[in-house]
């Protein structure tokens, strides 16, 4: 496979990475899995500063999905791992790409809609003011700033701001399913906080679209166009599973179970809109939540 069809992918073993690698391979790209925290060939390690820069020469694109999992209790040590893996790892990649003789055409780096803050009343578009009023907003700020060497080096850089990704095989939805299948799901913390989401296949297609559309750069809200309240999400998930979904969980109980992580994820109030994607002609396969949940859970539901 010629270098102009070669794509370097970090986080290829994760939920999004596996689906994306399969899709890109099907489109005829040569996908090279690049391992994080690896000091050998085909890897990089933000802890040691090692990176196999020769692998990047001549690749058409680098898609960076790797990072320490957010879904854990945020001890001080965990917060340090989350921050450094995203900032230091991304910075190492971006600086390396900027110094290549044959630079990639595009660098796509994961981020999150938490870049807009934790609780906002307006619907947020890519041009909306960003905030850093919590741990996750501060992490996404550092994460996105770490890509600056790449964009400064003339590489088209896309910042993929993602929400809850719907898949029964991983991520937040998988963690919710046991309780909802037992009829123990319901609104959390009152349930009026707004939440954005995206179906995994739509996220994969949006990444491919951003990869192949040279006019796309900067922040890209990778969200479905119809955000919901947490209570509405719980109700539709229960309906899809044919289970009751009315048992409430107070905010204090969530805080007891998950600490700050629960407060900044499940109880955050953010409604994002994919203005750049829609104005650029992208069409979502499952723009409504009911269809997306049925797709994620499979035909048996």
Please report whether residue 262 resides in a domain: no
The pLDDT of residue 1 is above 50: no
Please report whether residue 151 resides in a domain: yes
State which residues form the domain around 143: 3-163+198-223+272-285
Q: What is the dihedral of CA 63, 220, 4, 41, to 10 degrees?
A: -10
The pLDDT of residue 298 is above 90: no
Please report whether residue 29 resides in a domain: yes
- 53-101 confidence digits (pLDDT tens): 999 999 999 999 999 999 889 999 999 999 999 999 999 999 999 999 9
- What mean pLDDT is reported for the chain? 94
- Radius of gyration (Cα) for the chain, nearest Å? 19
What pLDDT is recorded for position 71?
86
Report the domain count for the chain: 1
Confidence of residue 139 (pLDDT cuts 50, 70, 90): very high
CA angle 3, 46, 30 (to 5 degrees): 20
Please report whether residue 105 resides in a domain: yes
- 222-232 confidence digits (pLDDT tens): 999 999 999 99
What pLDDT is recorded for position 45?
95
Please report whether residue 178 resides in a domain: no
What pLDDT is recorded for position 2?
43
Q: Which residues contact 252 (CB under 8 A, 6 or more apart)?
A: none
Please report whether residue 248 resides in a domain: no
Q: Which residues contact 133 (CB under 8 A, 6 or more apart)?
A: 117, 118
On the 0-12 / 13-18 / 19+ scale of CB atoms within 10 A, 274 is buried
The pLDDT of residue 146 is above 90: yes
CATH number at residue 279: 3.40.50.720
- Higher-pLDDT residue of 63, 262: 63
Do residues 130 and 270 touch, judged by C-beta distance below 8 A? no
What pLDDT is recorded for position 62?
98
Please report whether residue 112 resides in a domain: yes
What pLDDT is recorded for position 258?
84
CA angle 158, 163, 166 (to 5 degrees): 115
The pLDDT of residue 143 is above 90: yes
Confidence of residue 10 (pLDDT cuts 50, 70, 90): very high
Please report whether residue 203 resides in a domain: yes
- Higher-pLDDT residue of 198, 256: 198
């Amino acid at each position: 496979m010629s270098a102009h069809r070669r794509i370097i992918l970090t986080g290829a073993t994760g939920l999004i990475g596996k689906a994306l690698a399969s899709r890109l391979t099907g489109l005829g790209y040569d996908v090279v899995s690049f391992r994080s925290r690896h000091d050998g060939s085909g890897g990089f390690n933000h802890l040691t500063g090692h990176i196999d820069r020769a692998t990047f020469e001549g690749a058409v694109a680098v898609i960076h999905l790797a990072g320490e999992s957010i879904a854990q209790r945020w001890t001080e040590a965990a917060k340090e791992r989350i921050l450094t893996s995203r900032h230091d790892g991304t910075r190492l990649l971006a600086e390396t790409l900027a110094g290549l003789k044959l630079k990639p055409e595009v660098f796509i780096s994961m981020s999150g809609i938490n870049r807009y803050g934790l609780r906002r009343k307006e619907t947020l578009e890519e041009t909306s003011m960003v905030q850093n009023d919590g741990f996750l907003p501060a992490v996404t700020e550092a994460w996105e700033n770490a890509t600056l060497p790449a964009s400064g080096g003339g590489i088209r850089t896309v910042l993929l701001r993602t929400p809850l990704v719907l898949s029964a095989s991983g991520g937040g939805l998988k963690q919710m399913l046991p309780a909802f299948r037992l009829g123990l799901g319901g609104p959390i913390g009152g349930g009026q906080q707004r939440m954005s989401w995206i179906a995994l296949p739509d996220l994969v297609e949006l990444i491919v679209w951003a990869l192949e559309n040279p006019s796309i750069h900067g922040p890209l809200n990778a969200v479905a166009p119809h955000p919901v309240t947490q209570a509405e999400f719980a109700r539709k998930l229960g309906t899809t599973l044919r289970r009751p979904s009315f048992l409430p969980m107070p905010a204090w109980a969530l805080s007891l179970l998950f600490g700050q992580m629960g407060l900044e994820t499940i109880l955050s109030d953010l409604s994002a809109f994919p203005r750049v994607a829609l104005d650029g002609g992208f069409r979502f396969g499952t723009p409504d939540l009911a269809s997306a949940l049925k797709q994620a859970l499979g035909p048996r539901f």
